[in-house]
Structure formats: C-alpha cells, structure tokens
C-alpha cells in the first residue's frame, strides 16, 4: 500500500497522473439470427447498441432488406458487413444492404475472398444466373451501371473487428480450400460464440457441388477435427452458415455427413439412387432440391472421372 502511494505521489510530482484509472468496461454485445427464406442460409447481426457488425449478406435483396431492418432495431451507430467467403448465398445481398444502410462498410478478411466474390459474380453474370438480381451484375465497360464489387469491398488490415463498446470479433481466414476456396470464421469471447460460416451445416444438406473436389472435402473433414480439438475446452455456441445455432457436436456431424456423401456418390449407380440414399440417412435435412442435388452430381462426376 505504501509503495503504491509513493509511486502515485512521484508520478504526480513528475506531471503524471495522480491516480490509476481502470479501462472502461467492455459493452457486451448481442447476436440476432436472420434465417433467410432462400438457400437456408444465415446472416448474423452482432451489436453493442453503439455499432453493429453483420456477418454475411444472404442471397437475395428481399432477405438482405430484412437483415437491414433487424440491424436498425439495434441502434443507429456505424454498421460493418463482413462477408465470410465468395459464395453467392453469402454476398448477393450486399447491394440491398448498402441501399438500406447508408454509410455501410463492407469488408473481407483477405484479398483472396474479394477476388473470389468478383470472380463468382462475373461467372454468374456470364451464365445468366443474375437475371433475378440484375443490380448485382458486376460493373464492366459493357455494363457501366453494374455493381462495383472491388470499389465497395475493403480488405481488413488486421484479423479482427472491434465494436464501439470495445468487444472484439477475432477473425481466422487462413484455411486451406474446403467448402469454399477461402473461408472466414469469427470468434467472440464476449458472446462465447464461434461463427463457423459454411464449415458447419446444421440439419441442412452441405454444399459439395462444383468447386469442392474430393481433396477439398477431405481437407474439410480434417479442418473440422482440428476445430473440435481447438474449441473443446472453451465450448462456444456454434453459429453455422446454414441451420440453427447449436453446440460443438455439429462439427462431428458435418464431418460424418461429408464422409457419407462421398461414400454414397462412389457407390450409387445413378444420381437418383444417391439422392435417395442420402435422404434415407438424413431424412430431416433441408435443401434437397439444390444443395443435395448439386453435391451428388458433382461428387458422382468426380468419382467417375477418377475411376477412368
């Protein structure tokens, strides 16, 4: 006690502070889930009442407008949109969110994710897959009124986002190719929450369609095993890219699902037989008509090519 008093007096005599003040307490954020009507995909609204981070933008303008309305209920502070990876069900709502939330900052964790987004949007436009979202066709010389992805998206200089009240969202984006070529996960110590994006699917058929090789699928399984080990002691709530928030068991469940789909794709004589086999194993999983169908078609084609 005497030592502390002496140091304080010396500091005051030298022009320093006369007392030691504690740093302000971190404002604990809240998290809201928007389960999109299209693609069974999630957007998350993390807010401390002074500012907000939206995680992913959904696939449609209508869903994105609903996310914006949810964000507005959390206050009128600055809003940042983080896109976790370059799949369209996570980024096509950017334009609608930006229109609804003036001053919106759109960020990614690494340059490669911005490149993935631009590449995917350009490919979709070329295939005619953006006719239902014409405002999201990329800006080009031929389409000068298109969406300026590169000019809108900012690459973060460090792997974290800080809310105005001091809560930190820690980002990890150094994953090898899995469900996507590049992926971001987000951890909030204040919420006890791990946002896995599409590394985890909860009661929704997972995407193993075009772009997911057998090597990427097995890397995905190993990544899930590593995440289980890394987070076993902390036991955060898991907020997946698709499906309801849950616990760490979803990581093992997703790993088993990947193994089952690879096995079924190799063993089935037709896409229809493979689809029936997966539905029999996962009767309550959502999104059979797109995610499951596209994944089976891709993995059966890869299996056939490797057998030649």
DSSP string covering 219-238: HHHHHHHHHHHHHTTT-PEE
Q: Say what the pLDDT of residue 20 is.
A: 62
Q: Does the pLDDT value for residue 8 go beyond 70?
A: no
Residue 148: name the closest of 103, 98, 101, 85 by CA: 98
Q: Does the pLDDT value for residue 300 go beyond 90?
A: yes
Model pLDDT for residues 268-282, shown as the tens digit of each residue: 999 999 999 999 999
What does the pLDDT average to over 8-33?
Answer: 67
Residue 304: name the closest of 272, 273, 276, 268 by CA: 268
- To the nearest 10°, report the CA torsion of 129, 134, 139, 140: 60
Q: Say what the pLDDT of residue 10 is.
A: 34
Q: Does the pLDDT value for residue 15 go beyond 80?
A: no
Q: Say what the pLDDT of residue 307 is.
A: 86
Q: How confident is the model at residue 155 (pLDDT cuts 50, 70, 90)?
A: very high
Any idea which of 11-15, 19-23, 66-70, 235-239 has the lowest mean pLDDT? 11-15
Residue 44: name the closest of 187, 241, 177 by CA: 241
The residue extents of the domains of the chain are 26-173, 186-308
Average pLDDT, the chain: 93
Model pLDDT for residues 207-259, shown as the tens digit of each residue: 999 999 999 999 999 999 999 999 999 999 999 999 999 999 999 999 999 99
What is the reported pTM? Answer: 0.92
What does the pLDDT average to over 167-189?
Answer: 98
Q: Say what the pLDDT of residue 24 is.
A: 81
Q: How confident is the model at residue 1 (pLDDT cuts 50, 70, 90)?
A: very low
Q: Does the pLDDT value for residue 16 go beyond 60?
A: no
Percent of the chain whose pLDDT exceeds 90: 91
Helices in the chain by DSSP H: which ranges?
2-13, 61-72, 88-91, 94-100, 111-127, 149-152, 214-231, 249-267, 271-281, 293-307
What does the pLDDT average to over 9-37?
Answer: 72
The helices-and-strands tally (H runs, E runs) of the chain is 10, 11
Token reading at 86 = 């370059």
The CA-atom distances, in angstroms, between 162 and each of 20, 52, 53, 124, 188 are 25, 10, 9, 33, 10
Q: Does the pLDDT value for residue 199 go beyond 80?
A: yes
Q: Does the pLDDT value for residue 7 go beyond 50?
A: no
What does the pLDDT average to over 34-38?
Answer: 95
Q: Which CATH superfamily is domain 26-173 in?
A: Ribonuclease Z/Hydroxyacylglutathione hydrolase-like (3.60.15.10)
């Amino acid at each position: 006690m005497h030592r502390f008093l002496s140091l304080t007096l010396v500091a005051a005599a030298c022009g320093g502070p006369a007392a030691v003040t504690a740093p302000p307490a971190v404002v604990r954020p809240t998290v809201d889930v928007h389960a999109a009507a299209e693609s069974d995909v999630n957007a998350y609204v993390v807010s401390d009442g002074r500012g907000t981070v939206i995680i992913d933008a959904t696939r449609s303008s209508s869903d994105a407008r609903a996310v914006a309305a949810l964000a507005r209920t959390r206050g009128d502070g600055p809003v940042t949109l983080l896109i976790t990876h370059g799949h369209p069900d996570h980024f096509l709502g950017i334009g609608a969110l930006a229109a609804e939330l003036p001053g919106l900052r759109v960020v990614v964790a690494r340059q490669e994710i911005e490149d993935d987004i631009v590449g995917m949007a350009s490919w979709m436009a070329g295939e005619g897959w953006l006719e239902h979202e014409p405002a999201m066709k990329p800006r080009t010389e031929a389409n000068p009124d298109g969406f300026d992805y590169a000019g809108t998206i900012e690459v973060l200089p460090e792997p974290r986002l800080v809310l105005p009240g001091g809560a930190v969202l820690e980002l990890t984006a150094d994953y090898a190719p899995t469900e996507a070529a590049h992926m971001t996960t987000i951890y909030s110590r204040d919420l006890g929450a791990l946002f896995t994006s599409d590394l985890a699917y909860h009661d929704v058929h997972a995407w193993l369609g075009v772009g997911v090789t057998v090597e990427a699928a097995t890397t995905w399984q190993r990544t899930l095993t590593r995440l289980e080990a890394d987070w076993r002691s902390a036991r955060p709530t898991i907020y997946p890219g698709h499906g309801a928030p849950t616990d760490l068991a979803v990581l093992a469940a997703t790993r088993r699902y990947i193994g089952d789909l690879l096995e079924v794709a190799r063993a089935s004589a037709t896409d229809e037989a493979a689809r029936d086999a997966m539905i029999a194993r996962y009767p309550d999983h959502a999104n059979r008509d797109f995610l499951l169908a596209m994944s089976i078609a891709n993995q059966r084609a890869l299996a056939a090519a490797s057998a030649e």
